[in-house]
Amino acid sequence: MNTAIFPGSFDPFTVGHFDVLKRALPLFDRIIVAVGDNRNKKTLFTAEERKTMITQAVEPLAGAVAVQTYRTLTVELCRTHGAAFIIRGIRTCNDFDYEHIIAQANYTLAPDIQTLFFPARPDHTFICASIVRDILLHGGDVTALIPEGVILPRFA
């Protein structure tokens, strides 16, 4: 089975994340959306809340997409699932610089695991989880920024 890992904090999962996932699906038999549970990172939603939100979003893709949390190196998660690819979305040049460094580190740790970059669609380049969080915290409407069917805990 041709499996890829789509890792991230996804705090919260946005339409940009969902678009990258849908565009990557034709390349793989299965994609695991891996919700990073980094205890050193301050998030608005818990890892389990983020997992639930993503599960709601990917319900129409059931079977091809799985969602789980993880606390290990991404390359270790890839090895656990036999995944030879890591999927990453790129919105800006700054994203590319950051993701390129991570991809190089992952390659050093696991040369058999490749990172694939998906550039954001032009209408999604401004959408990032931190903007969505800020809008939420100030009582704004994020309906257009998160996938249909996602219920945001504490903001519903």
Q: Is residue 155 part of a domain?
A: no
Contact 5, 32 (CB under 8 A): yes
Separation of alpha carbons 109 and 150, rounded Å? 35
In the chain, the number of structural domains is 1
Q: Is residue 154 part of a domain?
A: no
Pure H helices in the chain: 15-24, 47-57, 74-81, 93-109, 129-137
Which 3 state secondary structure label does DSSP give 8? strand
Q: Which amino acid is at 58?
A: V
Q: Exposed/middle/buried for 14, CB within 10 Å: 0-12, 13-18, 19+?
A: buried
Q: Is residue 111 part of a domain?
A: yes
Q: Indicate which CATH number applies to the domain containing 17.
A: 3.40.50.620
Domain that holds residue 7: 3-145
Q: Is residue 156 part of a domain?
A: no
Binned at pLDDT 50, 70 and 90, residue 39 comes out as confident
Q: What is the pLDDT of residue 36?
A: 96
For residues 137-154, give the mean pLDDT. 91
> What are the structure tokens assigned to 105, written together?
């580190």
Q: What's the mean pLDDT when you consider all of the chain?
A: 95
Q: Is residue 151 part of a domain?
A: no
pLDDT of 55 > 90? The answer is: yes
Q: Compute the C-alpha angle 150/154/156, nearest 5°.
A: 50
Q: What is the pLDDT of residue 156?
A: 67
Q: Please give the share of the chain, as a percent, with pLDDT higher than 90.
A: 88
Q: What is the pLDDT of residue 51?
A: 97
Q: Is residue 21 part of a domain?
A: yes
Q: Is residue 153 part of a domain?
A: no
For residues 42-70, give the mean pLDDT. 94
Q: Is residue 69 part of a domain?
A: yes
